[in-house]
Amino acid sequence: MLLLLLLAARLALVVAVDYPGGWLPDSQQCVDICVHASPSPICPTRDPSCLAKKQLPGDYDFLLLELLFLPQFCRDLLAGVDLTISHRNVNKYPHGIVCEPSKAASKLSIHGLWPNYYAGFSACCNVSDAIRNQPFDALVFAAESTELLREMDEVWVDPTQPSSFHTLCELYNHEFQKHGLCYAANGGADFDLSAREYFRAAMRAAAVYKEATETINGWAAANDPKTTLAAITALYQTRVQQTNQCFSFSDSDRLQGSVIDRCLYSL
């Protein structure tokens, strides 16, 4: 009997997932999440047009803006699922990382702005053959971009972190290294400049859907928050001009969806 109990306990033990990211041990710089990245794009269907891509900055067919519904993101973390694939110690509660109660507001927040191909996507693009992908300088960014960081703290929240400063080497650098340099690398070796351009572009994209976001946030703040997939979709159908539109949200009468995706062709 004891052997069976020990076996059951062992089977119930879930090993935590540690995604690349975070601060280096000296808390001065971000971990380089792209150091072991593949030079080839991700092409799930092996489409020749996708396979031929060289993952060059600015070479994409459309941009995908993803918004997270923070309460559901936090619930997913409790189940050992990290939709941002950017945190360490992702494990089922009470063993894994959890959200900071003060940051887990009932609202939509930017996850990222992702350059995509029609049949796949790029990730961890290098600036050029001579300048490879690197993190931005978090401490310099915090010192020189205080207003931008304040704006990001309002619309681009990592609810596992107590502040946007702590988020610099968490979600922010993850999105910049993985997607930002694929969007554009106008700063060349100045990764802070490229990071600022990317973060501002993502916030401009989110601002296009500000009215829809505010409506959904209003529903979420109600005493009995309810909506439907059709009602949410209608918010975007009346405000989006592009013909190729992406969307995913939980099909229930309560706000339990995880993400909203929108496709854009330019900013």
- Tally of domains in the chain: 1
Domain range for 53 is 40-264
What residues of the chain score a pLDDT lower than 50? 8, 11-12, 238-255
Flag whether 6 is in a domain: no
- How long is the chain? 267
Residue type, 257: G
pLDDT at residue 260, rounded to an integer: 80
E strands, the chain, in order: 62-69, 108-117, 120-121, 259-264
Flag whether 33 is in a domain: no
Residue type, 135: P
Flag whether 49 is in a domain: yes
Flag whether 149 is in a domain: yes
Q: CA 193, CA 191: separation in Å to the nearest integer?
A: 5
pLDDT at residue 77, rounded to an integer: 98
Q: CA 85, CA 178: separation in Å to the nearest integer?
A: 11
CATH of the domain at 69: 3.90.730.10
Flag whether 68 is in a domain: yes
72 forms beta bridges with none
Closest residue by Cα to residue 155 from 108, 104, 89, 123: 108
Closest residue by Cα to residue 82 from 17, 30, 175: 17
* Structure-block tokens of residue 5: 């109990």
Flag whether 18 is in a domain: no
Q: What is the pTM of this model?
A: 0.88
Q: CA 248, CA 232: separation in Å to the nearest integer?
A: 10
Reduced to 3 states (helix: H, G, I; strand: E, B; else coil), residue 215 is: helix
Flag whether 77 is in a domain: yes
Flag whether 70 is in a domain: yes
pLDDT at residue 263, rounded to an integer: 74
Q: How many CB atoms lie within 10 A of CB 76?
A: 16
Residue 111 near residue 174, CB atoms below 8 Å: no
pLDDT at residue 266, rounded to an integer: 59
pLDDT at residue 2, rounded to an integer: 57
DSSP state of 149: H
